[in-house]
Amino acid sequence: MGEHRPLFEFVDLQREEPEKQVIEVRKHEFAEIYRSFKQPGIKEQSSRCIACGNPYCQWKCPVHNYIPDWLSLAAEGKYIEAAELSHQTNSLPEVCGRVCPQDRLCEQACTLNNDFGAVTIGQVEKFITDNAFAQGWRPDVSKAKPQPYKVAVVGAGPAGLACADVLIRNGVQVTVFDRYPEIGGLLTFGIPEFKLEKQVMTKRREIFESMGIEFKLGVEIGRDLSFETLNQDYDKVFLGLGTYKTVAANLGEGVDQGVHKALDYLIANTCHLHDYPVETANYIDFKDQDVIVLGGGDTAMDCVRTAIRQGAKRVRCVYRKDQEAMPGSRKEFKHATEEGVEFVWHHQAESCLRDESGALTGLHCHNTADNSKATLECDAVIVAYGFRGEQPEWLKTSNVTFNQWQLVETSEHQGYRTQDKNIYAGGDMVRGADLVVTAIAEGRQAAESICRDLGVLV
Ligand SMILES: Cc1cc2nc3c(=O)[nH]c(=O)nc-3n(C[C@H](O)[C@H](O)[C@H](O)COP(=O)(O)OP(=O)(O)OC[C@H]3O[C@@H](n4cnc5c(N)ncnc54)[C@H](O)[C@@H]3O)c2cc1C
Ligand code: SF4
């Protein structure tokens, strides 16, 4: 029997988040800004949930996490049971707890959101798995019946990892290939540490390896290993390659032009900080510089906050619409503002202003609110306008088809199977640049469909 808890706890007990690192310290370090909740806080915050008969939080979540159920377990301090339950629907709950835009998903949908403050679902989700791992808990796959099938997963981002997780839990042998030296895809190389520390993915790799997933890192399909070989050696292939083609601002992007691509900048910064032997050639330090970031999504927020931590003199985010229209998480906008980032609304960059030597000195902009022109002086520009799909050369000989946006065509009804009956795909390369949790949802669904097609019960 569970502990008795008052039904209307949420009236007296305010929504609370864990403390954040003080701004003067956090502006200078690449470390997660939230301190961990202490146990009484976790139990109290979890106990605010009223276990709605129709849990809107759960429906809004793309993987339909059993949120009220694991909140109830967390309220009783049963973190291992909560972690077991949380892993039934999500392959990376400790990651989602950290980076999901809960303010647009579960917490926005929470019944208590408008009048009392939503339950702090994300922070509890993160705590549950961190705590269970610290207690030595590991997912138990010993009861999975070994199957005679082998599946190759290309891409160790959230889509590929989620697919591998569901396959191994069903006894299917799985090998994950990635061109990078660590798993995670954008979780490791794109998203900066102030949102998600790298040790989270290292730990997750160890857990996956202990479950039996094989990783072949530093292997690029199409360069180090041909797709034909992969196709021959494995019964099925899942593709989770992501989208890496930058939407251009047409301002003459190029390092020597002073106009940088957001993802190149972020990846190089991570590789520089962690000595990863990849893509450090693009590394750039904005110390003492006046930086403008173009765009209003999560990538733009990560760039402005990275530039702040590098010691930039001034950092502005220039966006063509207003704050309401920004696609990025409100939470991240707030963090950026707290750290000193300035926002320039209703401005669209049109061309670069340069001195006689060709060096960048500013941007000519169009004010979309009053149709006027404006000039913003700066030393460097980062373009964060999003990403497009791209068809890899090595897939051109397969039956996999791409749509007009260069995204892989799959059928949701056929569980993310492509036009080639042995190849499945999911995540950003299918839906376009989106979210970690949607990539996880698609990877899991593709794995279920691979199992069904192989005749393995899910
Ligand atoms: C800067 C930034 C910040 C973001 N912040 C958030 C956030 O806060 N919250 C959120 O929910 N989402 C966020 N996103 C979006 C999220 O990261 C992506 O939607 C998600 O990672 C997509 O997962 P994926 O598995 O499809 O692709 P990816 O994460 O891109 O992984 C693809 C993997 O495939 C590998 N690969 C590609 N080609 C090959 C090949 N030929 N051979 C071998 N390996 C290959 C790549 O190396 C990579 O590891 C952010 C995105 C960016 C760019
Ligand atoms: S909507 Fe909010 S109160 Fe209702 S079950 Fe979900 S977390 Fe609990």
pLDDT digits (tens, 9 = 90+) for 97-107: 999 999 999 99
Q: Using one digit for the tens of pLDDT, what is the confidence trace for 119-175?
A: 999 999 999 999 999 999 999 999 999 999 999 999 999 999 999 999 999 999 999
Distance 46 CA to ligand 1 centre (A): 31
Output the pLDDT for position 411.
Answer: 81
What is the mean pLDDT of the segment spanning 426-434? 95
Which residue has the CA at smallest separation from atom 52 of ligand 1? 299
Give the distance, in angstroms, between the CA of residue 326 and the centroid of all CA atoms in the same chain. 18
3-state secondary structure 122-167: HHHHHHHHHHHHHCCCCCCCCCCCCCCCEEEEECCCHHHHHHHHHH
Distance 241 CA to ligand 1 centre (A): 8
Q: Is 186 in the pocket of ligand 1 (CB under 6 A)?
A: yes
* CATH topology classification for 247-386: FAD/NAD(P)-binding domain (3.50.50)
Residue of 186, 226, 429 best suited for mutating to test ligand 1, as the one with most atoms within 8 Å of CB: 186
What is the mean pLDDT of the segment spanning 238-245? 96
Tell me the C-alpha distance between 124 and 406, whole Å.
38
Which residue has the CA at smallest separation from atom 3 of ligand 2? 49
Tell me the C-alpha distance between 211 and 178, whole Å.
18
Give residue 288's region: left, alpha or beta (phi > 0; psi -120 to 50): left
What is the mean pLDDT of the segment spanning 112-121? 93
Give the distance, in angstroms, between the CA of residue 381 and the centroid of all CA atoms in the same chain. 24
* CATH topology classification for 9-134: Fumarate Reductase Iron-sulfur Protein; Chain B, domain 2 (1.10.1060)
* Cβ atoms of residues 309 and 318 within 8 Å: no
Which ligand has the minimum distance to the alpha carbon of residue 299? 1
Place of tokens 């042998």: 173
295 pLDDT exceeds 90?
yes
Of 91-95, 197-201, 313-317, 394-398, the range with the lowest mean pLDDT is: 394-398
Output the pLDDT for position 129.
Answer: 96
What is the mean pLDDT of the segment spanning 329-348? 94
To the nearest whole percent, how much of the chain has pLDDT over 90? 85
Q: What is the mean pLDDT of the chain?
A: 93
Place of tokens 């110390």: 287
Per-domain residue ranges for the chain?
Answer: 9-134, 150-243+389-454, 247-386
Q: Is 160 in the pocket of ligand 1 (CB under 6 A)?
A: yes
Output the pLDDT for position 2.
Answer: 46
Which ligand has the minimum distance to the alpha carbon of residue 106? 2
Other CB atoms closer than 10 Å to residue 38's CB: what's the count? Answer: 12
Output the pLDDT for position 358.
Answer: 87
Indicate if 247-386 has the same CATH topology as 150-243+389-454. Answer: yes
Q: Among 3.50.50.60, 3.30.360.10, 3.60.21.10, 3.30.70.980, name the CATH number for the domain at 150-243+389-454.
A: 3.50.50.60
Ligand 2 contacts (CB < 6 A) are 49-52, 55-57, 67-68, 110-112, 119, 121
Residue of 223, 226, 241 best suited for mutating to test ligand 1, as the one with most atoms within 8 Å of CB: 241
Distance 429 CA to ligand 1 centre (A): 9
Distance 83 CA to ligand 2 centre (A): 18
